[in-house]
Amino acid sequence: MTLAEAPKVRADAAPAETVLSVDGLTVSVATETGLRPLVQDISFALKRGETLAIAGESGSGKSITSLAVMGLLPANVRATTGAVRLAGTDLLRLPEARMRAIRGDRVAMIFQEPMTSLNPVMTVGAQLVEAIQAHEPLTRREAQARALGALKSVRLSEPERRLRQFPHELSGGMRQRVMIAMAIALRPDVLIADEPTTALDVTVQREVLDLLRDLRREMGTAIILITHDMGVVAEMADRVIVMKDGRVVEEGPAIRIFDAPREAYTQTLLAAVPRMGERPAEEPPPPRPSVCVLRDLTVHFDVGRGLLGRATHRVHAVEGVSLEVRQGETFALVGESGCGKSTIAKTIAGLVPFAGEIEIAGRKLHSQADITRAVRRDAQIVFQDPAAALDPRMRVGDLVAEPLVIHGIGTPPERHATVEALFERVGLSRAQIGRYPHEFSGGQRQRICIARALVLRPKLIVADESVSALDVSVQARVLQLLKELRDELGVSFLFISHDMAVVDAFADRVAVMFLGQIMEMGTRAQVFGNPHHSYTRRLIEAVPIPDPGHVRPSRERLASEVPSPVRRRDDPPRRLLLRDVGGGHLVAEAGPG
């Protein structure tokens, strides 16, 4: 039995029926100085079969709103006024025992990170059965049948085998499908999805979004989708609520919000969203000398312990990559998680052993030991998470000056002057030099990391997902800063990202990676305008388009295992040959993908 035939389904019921309504909800956190509101006066109504998107940047209160509906607020946070009505019952007034019965059964939730939401020591089947039996008086056999049906309805390949597997045996996308299966197994009236695809790769995101849309159609479940990604909003939502600083800025049908946003904040938010194909084609710059050349770069890690402690398997993180970054250009490496793009960044930074050749500013390097201080002066790296990349116990001024100290450049007053000038250049004030990293916001911290990378005046900056963790409006400003720096200082960027729209807006040349090898490489116009490789096309098609009018052909695909870069030691992968299809546009032969 599939869920579509289940008796509780009423997809054809009256469309105007309201399942959940929130009236004047205010949520406050208890602080030493009294109650401080996190979310103020939120009201909305959710109809059966409708998808409502709550969009906003970090700190807008969108997650707090969903937690309040679920009754899962942290201990020092509570709903002070308002009501959350599910079919007439005010959930805020229910005792915890009654709320527990409703949670999961009538209102279910999917979280952002599927790995941490599943219990690692229980099989998928056991967790599903436990969740089902907690709410319905079914026998074990009946609950197992229901669990299998749920796995089938989320289109997992080999559902019988999945029941016996543990979470770590599944890929990220499959785990998120298990979470969705767990949420819909009890056929809830309302499904709250809090950033359900943010941790997933773009092709997997595509599949999960398709799945959610199908489930809504088949089962009539109302969905509250919480996301910062306006592309996802446009693809999924019937209605949109835009939140900022705990208040509703604008509410309306998705088409109206995207086509004619009324509020200034919504307009700037939409303007900051990077879009594929928006940037006009440019004249290719004249050939300039190269700053960084990789020749047949190969990075392997041995894993697994066999008899006698010998490694049995090998991770082929980077497998014979050759590319060239020219002076003053931005070369982008795109690909999904595990494709080896970050390993290349770490290799250039001298953090991993490698084989092959790296040439930086004319110096040819053949092993990790060749990456000396002098080389590092020319090639700097900016990491993804600025909060993790700055030592929390040092003042930011000292952190930015540290490369100068290490390389023995300048006297203390000279260094101080350099740091002050750089602070102003990256958009921070001199007065902030004496502060600690935790006193800054995410965007400001990334500016500090950029200043730190710039202080040695390098020829190449490797930006490893450097804008991925930032809100879109902040992301747009940081990208603008990087562009200015590139043009003013002539510094080259090796820009590593999974976000195709950002790459399209920022890069001059692009290489697409998959399983440690380059699938396609050329100018931005060549790769994105005229993709030859099937993998490149799949990546581009998967990018959510921030336009609700855009119609996407629906395809049904089973989620199965993705090929892995971990192979037996005696079984190396096949090296793919790159073929020039004209004008330096290189495409790999049909490969492992």
Partner 1 sequence: MSDAALPEPRRRSALGRLARRPLALLGLAIISVTVVSAIAAPWIAPFGRDEQLFEGLTLEGAPMPPGGPFLLGTDLLGRDLLTRILYGARTSLVIGVVANGLALLIGTLVGVTAGYFRGWLGSLLMRFTDLMMAFPALLLAICLAAIFTPSLWIVALVIALVNWVQVARVLYTETTSLAERDFIAAERAIGAGHGRILWLHILPHLVPTIIVWGTLGISTTVLLEATLSFLGIGVQPPEPSWGNIIFENQTYFQAAPWLVFFPGMAILLMALAFNLVGDALRDVLDPTQRGRG
Which residues of this protein are in contact with partner 1, per CB under 8 A? 57-59, 346, 349-351, 373, 376-377, 380-381, 383, 385, 388-394, 402-403, 406-407, 435-436, 438-445, 449, 452, 456, 469-471, 473-474, 477
Please give the helix or strand (H or E) that residue 49 lies within, else none: none
Q: How far apart are CA 242 and CA 62, in angstroms?
A: 9
Identify which of residues 124 and 472 has a Cβ nearer to partner 1 in the complex: 472
Token code pair at residue 244: 């900022």
**323 SS3 class:** strand
User: Which is nearer to partner 1, 326 or 346 (by Cβ)?
Assistant: 346
Residue 420 has a CB neighbour count (10 Å cut-off) of 16
Report in angstroms how near the CB of residue 435 gets to partner 1 at its nearest.
8
Locate 445 and state its tokens. Answer: 């911290």
- Residue 125 CB, nearest approach to partner 1 (Å): 33
C-alpha 162/C-alpha 165 separation (Å) is 5
- What DSSP letter does each residue of 275-309 carry, written as one string? -TT-SPP-PPPPP--EEEEEEEEEEEEEEEE-GGG
- Of 318, 315, 290, the closest CA to residue 304 belongs to 315
Which CB, 52 or 469, lies closer to partner 1?
469
Task: Decide the pairing of beta strands 247-253 and 290-305.
Answer: unpaired
- 3-class secondary structure for 149-179? HHHHHCCECCHHHHHCCCHHHCCHHHHHHHH
Q: How near is the Cβ of 474 to partner 1 at its closest, in Å? A: 4
CB of 578 to partner 1, least distance (A): 29
- Closest approach of partner 1 to the CB of residue 438, in Å: 5
Looking at beta carbons only, is 61 or 593 nearer to partner 1? Answer: 61
Task: Give the Cα separation of 200 and 498 in Å (integer).
Answer: 10
Nearer to partner 1, 313 or 407 (CB): 407
Place of tokens 């436990």: 130
Q: Which is nearer to partner 1, 267 or 372 (CB)?
A: 372
Least distance to partner 1, CB of residue 545, Å: 24
Minimum CB distance to partner 1 smaller for 314 or for 452:
452
Task: At 404, give phi and psi (nearest 5°).
Answer: -65, -40
Structure token digits, residue 203 = 């092709």
Q: How far is the CB of 371 from partner 1 (least distance, A)?
A: 9
